[in-house]
């Protein structure tokens, strides 16, 4: 087919048609103009799988490991393979663009979306993300690197103003994007919700015009985060090509025309934005084939194998006292093993955009049975309550107004007592926020007769996005008179509500009426602050019997552990505890210390206790000295149970290395006191006072006892030795060579980490920084020679005054580390003065 003439197509479009191209049609598709031959394209979330159109439920999809785990592999080849597999999943959902990878940094352990991003280190983040981009785009699927830029927290994410100096901005927060842009040339960039130095990211001239388009010479499509546009003229002028989702809020034709007449933008600006959209469609071959196929659930065996491989290779062995691991068949034959905590839950992913309806989730319970079979005797106890909100009342206990199972669902115009739409058979007592995208600014009621199955006292909760109320037999049980204090937290499963006790009798019918309304604006600007949630409704009614709610799970687990030879406790964050939309509430595992108490109680009765922790972030470990084994398993995707079992049993030798520092206390973290910020005149502001010293750059300057486990740390079931380090100058760059010997008894892989730092470190500079890495697999008794190129640009600092990247003349230490603190070889090299342009 002949090349598409974008200029010719543009010339046929009216100004109004050009403007319509600059915002989405709906949640996931762009607007086509069939009469002019302009097709639409479908986009899809998210970072660890192509979810498809439905936010909840919907077509099943392959769930890949989260980025925080992927970074722990230090394996760029594996990252590219994951990208290629994700591309196949995108095509199966009828889409051609994936909203991934997420590549913001782990500035603070409480960051709600850290799990979705790779690392605290910009170099590791950039290199891993670039390979994911290549894997996607080599298969014809657009990658969308996000969120550009400085999106390191979720608290008040739509409006928070983040103040960061240019050096830190360049060296840390823009650096991963720069690496991905220059090495992999992503076809799309998504802007962040937040403000950067007083300007919203979607209309930021410095990041979008000067840096992205100018200095980096990038030519792709800039799209907004969903509901992340905050202006008409300013966002268009700064270079935001596509407002998502649709229909538009900010780019109505009359508003754009008004901006042109007022001289805020020109028709040439509209032509430039429309051209980018057309070029994007061309890159995705939409002009050649404008179909948007129906979504399919294709569960590929090769995807299963890849997810299991990646999951196991990213798991990090943190402690292995007395070689309690691996639990190989010959070692544990005839033993009793207690599997406790989250053993029967597959913690495959975090919450929000990274959640999806996985084809399946393998639990550790099932995987350990499959791995060890009848050679051991397993027992189980949950041991800790971890629910965050009470479960909804299911339809099976409720009869609607028409006599059928389920609730009667009614829609009302505000102020009206007459429903304009009635539906029967609503499945449970919740109103999903995301379902309200089909209407706007409406009130909703759920009505039905609830018949309890047992006489008991029940806990009830009622929480809504806007004012809401629960009544039973015309008695108000709870009324929320104000808007939800955390709208984004509510959207993704957080925002718990007060628990109200109500005694009910078995077999007795109770009339239930549940009401909810959209958030009520307190001032003229509040609706805009809610973004895509403006005018929507959301409601959660929960209930649980007092006996179930207050059951003593801990004592049961202690008895089970006492009777076992080995206790394995599975801890972690379910998706509603670690999610997009809100930051972590606590450094300790939820709920209210219940998992910490479980570990403490079990170690008191069973000295052979192993903890397997599934979180996307570092957590407090007050029990660290009492456990024999500790495994950080992150969110390993749909094969999470098998990946964990492979490491626990020795089928996979651990080879993961931490992609972030695990501090002992929050108070020692670099952003402590500046996360999530302070309110000034009602608006959240946060200052990045730590500058370039985040993660290990900060902890390098403190005593080692501030850290439980350093960046880059990871144990193995084998041992490695390094020798013969050589560093040779090669033009402006360097060639590092080192021999790695496997001195143990099993095959294993290790990340060879190269850190570089000046021997005369200035107070304003980090002591060292990761400048190169590679992964090497070595058989027992063998030695591999590893050669790694190191670019001077990758250990340079940004000189704000000179507006250049600079390496000052002097002696530099090139260090090989098993982690950032465990340096096993180093060589001092005289480096000449170098500078690099933008």
Contact predicate 746/347, CB 8 Å: no
What is the CATH classification number for the domain harbouring 809?
Answer: 2.60.40.10
**Is position 177 within any domain?**
yes
pLDDT of residue 522: 65
What is the CATH classification number for the domain harbouring 587?
Answer: 3.40.50.1700
User: What six digits make up the tokens of 17?
Assistant: 């048609």
> Which parts of the chain register pLDDT below 70?
1-2, 436-437, 494, 522-529
- HEC per residue, 146-171: EEECCCCCCCCCCCCEEECCHHHHHH
Distance CA 90, CA 676 (A): 34
Shared domain check, 122 and 184: yes
Q: Tens digit of pLDDT for each residue in 377-418?
A: 999 999 999 999 899 888 888 999 999 999 999 999 998 989
Which of these three, 223, 239, 255, is where a domain ends? 239
Pairing outcome for strands 810-817 and 456-464: unpaired
Distance CA 263, CA 284 (A): 34
Distance CA 540, CA 461 (A): 8
pLDDT of residue 523: 59
Shared domain check, 516 and 665: no
pLDDT of residue 526: 47
User: What six digits make up the tokens of 565?
Assistant: 């030879």
User: What six digits make up the tokens of 169?
Assistant: 């901005």
C-alpha pair distances (Å), 594 with each of 600, 602, 791:
10, 12, 48
pLDDT of residue 528: 46
The β-bridge partners of 392 are 542
What is the CATH classification number for the domain harbouring 200?
Answer: 3.20.20.300
**810 in helix, strand or coil?**
strand
C-alpha pair distances (Å), 7 with each of 4, 34, 278:
9, 17, 9
**Is position 253 within any domain?**
no
Of the residues 225, 430, 596, 646, only one is catalytic, namely: 225
Q: Environment class of residue 3 by beta-carbon count within 10 Å: exposed (0-12), middle (13-18) or buried (19+)?
A: exposed
Q: Return the residue matching tokens 């199955």.
A: 453
Shared domain check, 338 and 209: no
Spell out a b/e string for 276-299, using b for 16 or more CB atoms within 10 Å of the CB, else e. bbbbbbbbbebbeeeebeebeebe
Distance CA 555, CA 551 (A): 10
Distance CA 758, CA 46 (A): 40
Distance CA 635, CA 342 (A): 13
Q: Where are the alpha helices (DSSP H) in 291-449?
A: 301-314, 329-332, 364-372
**Is position 17 within any domain?**
no
Angle at CA of residue 549, ends 393 and 562, nearest 5°: 135
Shared domain check, 599 and 484: no
Distance CA 652, CA 716 (A): 10
DSSP per residue over 479-498, as a string?
A: EE-S--S-HHHHHTT-----
Shared domain check, 168 and 74: yes
**Is position 514 within any domain?**
yes
Residue whose C-alpha is closest to residue 229's, from 205, 212, 253, 245: 245
Residues 6+ apart with CB under 8 A from 94: 42, 52, 292, 293, 294, 295
Q: Give the CA dihedral 787, 789, 790, 792, nearest 10 degrees.
A: 150
Shared domain check, 234 and 149: yes
Shared domain check, 416 and 382: no
- Going through 240-376 in order, the beta strands assigned E by DSSP cover 316-320, 336-341
Shared domain check, 663 and 533: no
pLDDT of residue 710: 98
Sheet strand arrangement including 804-807: 797-799, 804-807, 834-836
Q: Environment class of residue 449 by beta-carbon count within 10 Å: exposed (0-12), middle (13-18) or buried (19+)?
A: middle
Residue whose C-alpha is closest to residue 351's, from 76, 115, 575, 64: 575
**Is position 256 within any domain?**
no
Angle at CA of residue 798, ends 796 and 802, nearest 5°: 120
Residue whose C-alpha is closest to residue 202's, from 238, 152, 255, 244: 238
Distance CA 733, CA 219 (A): 28
Helix H or strand E segment including 613: strand 609-614
User: Residue 746 CB: number of other CB atoms within 10 A?
Assistant: 14
Helix H or strand E segment including 542: strand 539-545
Spell out a b/e string for 376-397, using b for 16 or more CB atoms within 10 Å of the CB, else e. bebbbbbbbbbbbbbbbbebeb
**Is position 262 within any domain?**
no
Which of these three, 239, 259, 285, is where a domain ends? 239
Shared domain check, 173 and 43: yes
Distance CA 307, CA 300 (A): 11
Q: Environment class of residue 603 by beta-carbon count within 10 Å: exposed (0-12), middle (13-18) or buried (19+)?
A: buried
**Is position 84 within any domain?**
yes
Shared domain check, 399 and 383: no
Q: How many domains does the chain have?
A: 4
Q: Tens digit of pLDDT for each residue in 686-698?
A: 999 999 999 999 9
Q: Is 225 a catalytic residue?
A: yes
Which of these three, 512, 537, 562, is where a domain ends? 537
Residue whose C-alpha is closest to residue 172's, from 627, 691, 613, 611: 691
pLDDT of residue 284: 98
What is the CATH classification number for the domain harbouring 509?
Answer: 2.60.120.380
The answer to whether the bond into 723 is cis (omega within 30° of 0) is no
Residues 6+ apart with CB under 8 A from 139: 83, 84, 87, 88, 91
- HEC per residue, 705-717: HHEEECCCCCECC
Shared domain check, 591 and 736: no
**Is position 152 within any domain?**
yes
- Going through 29-86 in order, the beta strands assigned E by DSSP cover 43-44
Distance CA 41, CA 284 (A): 8
pLDDT of residue 229: 96
Q: Environment class of residue 683 by beta-carbon count within 10 Å: exposed (0-12), middle (13-18) or buried (19+)?
A: middle
Shared domain check, 442 and 587: no
Residue whose C-alpha is closest to residue 314's, from 75, 128, 69, 612: 69
pLDDT of residue 2: 60
Q: State which residues form the domain around 526.
A: 395-428+431-537
Task: Name the percent of the chain in helix, strand, coil, to the closest 5.
Answer: 30, 25, 45
């Amino acid at each position: 087919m002949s090349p598409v003439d974008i200029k010719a197509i543009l010339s046929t479009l009216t100004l109004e048609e050009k403007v319509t191209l600059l915002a989405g049609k709906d949640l996931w598709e762009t607007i086509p103009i069939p009469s002019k031959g302009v097709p639409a394209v479908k986009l899809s979330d998210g970072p660890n799988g192509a979810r498809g159109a439905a936010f909840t439920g919907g077509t099943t999809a392959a769930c890949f490991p989260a980025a925080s785990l992927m970074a722990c592999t230090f394996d760029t080849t594996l990252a590219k393979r994951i990208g290629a597999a994700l591309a196949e999943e995108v095509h199966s959902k009828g889409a051609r663009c994936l909203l991934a990878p997420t590549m913001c940094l782990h500035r603070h352990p409480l960051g709600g979306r850290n799990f979705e991003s790779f690392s605290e280190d910009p170099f590791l983040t950039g290199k891993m993300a670039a390979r994911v981009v290549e894997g996607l785009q080599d298969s014809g699927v657009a990658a969308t690197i996000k969120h550009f830029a400085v999106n390191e927290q979720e608290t008040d994410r739509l409006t928070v103003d983040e103040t960061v100096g240019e050096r830190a901005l360049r060296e840390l927060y823009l650096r991963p994007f720069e690496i991905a842009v220059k090495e992999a040339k992503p076809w799309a960039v998504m802007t962040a919700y937040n403000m950067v130095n007083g300007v919203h990211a979607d209309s930021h001239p410095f990041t979008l015009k000067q840096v992205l388009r100018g200095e980096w010479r990038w030519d792709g499509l800039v799209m907004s985060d969903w509901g992340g546009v905050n202006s008409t003229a300013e966002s268009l002028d700064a270079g935001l090509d596509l407002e998502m989702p649709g229909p538009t809020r900010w780019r109505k034709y009359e508003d754009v025309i008004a901006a042109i007449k007022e001289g805020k933008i020109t028709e040439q600006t509209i032509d430039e934005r429309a051209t980018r959209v057309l070029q994007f469609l061309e890159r995705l071959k939409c002009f050649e084939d404008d179909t948007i196929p129906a979504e399919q659930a294709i569960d590929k065996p090769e995807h299963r194998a890849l997810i299991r491989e990646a999951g196991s290779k990213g798991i990090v062995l943190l402690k292995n006292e007395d070689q309690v691991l691996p639990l190989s068949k010959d070692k544990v034959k005839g033993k009793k093993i207690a599997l406790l905590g989250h053993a029967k839950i597959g913690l495959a992913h975090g919450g929000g955009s990274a959640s999806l309806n996985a084809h399946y989730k393998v639990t550790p319970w099932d995987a350990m049975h499959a791995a060890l079979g009848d050679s051991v005797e397993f027992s189980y106890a949950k041991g800790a309550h971890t629910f965050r909100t009470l479960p909804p009342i299911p339809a099976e206990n409720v009869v609607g107004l028409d006599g059928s199972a389920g609730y009667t669902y009614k829609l009302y115009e505000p102020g009206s007592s007459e429903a304009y739409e009635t539906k029967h058979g609503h499945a449970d007592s919740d109103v999903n926020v995301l379902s309200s995208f089909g209407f706007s600014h409406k009130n909703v009621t759920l009505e039905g007769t609830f018949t309890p199955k047992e006489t008991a006292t029940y806990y009830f909760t009622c929480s809504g996005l806007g004012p809401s109320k629960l009544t039973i037999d015309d008695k108000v049980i709870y009324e929320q008179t104000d808007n939800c204090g955390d709208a984004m937290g509510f959207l993704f499963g957080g925002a718990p509500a007060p628990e109200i006790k109500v005694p009910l009798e078995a077999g007795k019918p109770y009339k239930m009426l549940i009401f909810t309304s959209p958030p009520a604006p307190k001032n003229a600007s509040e609706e805009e602050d809610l973004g895509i949630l403006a005018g929507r409704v959301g409601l959660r009614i929960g209930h649980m019997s007092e006996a179930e709610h207050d059951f003593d799970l801990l004592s049961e687990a202690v008895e089970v552990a006492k009777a076992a030879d080995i206790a394995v406790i599975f801890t972690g964050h379910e998706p509603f505890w670690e999610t997009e939309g809100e930051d972590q509430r606590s450094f300790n595992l939820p709920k209210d210390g219940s998992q910490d108490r479980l570990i403490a109680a079990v170690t008191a009765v069973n000295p052979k206790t192993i903890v397997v922790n599934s979180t996307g972030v570092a957590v407090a470990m007050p029990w660290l000295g009492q456990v024999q084994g500790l495994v950080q398993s992150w969110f390993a995707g749909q094969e999470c149970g098998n990946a964990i079992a492979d490491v626990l049993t020795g089928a996979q030798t651990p080879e993961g290395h931490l992609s972030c520092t695990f501090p002992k206390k929050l108070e020692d973290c670099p952003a402590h006191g500046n996360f999530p910020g302070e309110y000034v005149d009602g608006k959240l502001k946060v200052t990045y006072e730590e500058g370039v010293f985040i993660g290990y750059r900060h902890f390098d300057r403190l005593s080692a006892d501030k850290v439980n486990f350093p960046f880059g740390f990871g144990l193995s079931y084998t041992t490695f030795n390094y020798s013969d380090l050589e560093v040779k100058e090669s033009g402006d760059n360097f060639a590092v060579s080192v021999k790695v010997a496997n001195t143990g008894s099993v095959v294993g892989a290790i990340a060879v980490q190269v850190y570089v730092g000046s021997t005369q470190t200035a107070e304003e500079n980090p002591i060292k920084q990761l400048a190169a890495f590679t992964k090497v697999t070595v058989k027992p008794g063998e030695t591999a020679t590893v050669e790694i190129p190191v670019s001077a640009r990758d250990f340079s600092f940004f000189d704000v005054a000179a507006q250049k990247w600079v390496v000052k003349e002097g002696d530099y230490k090139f260090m090989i580390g098993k982690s950032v603190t465990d340096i096993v070889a180093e060589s001092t090299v005289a480096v000449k003065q170098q500078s690099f342009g933008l």
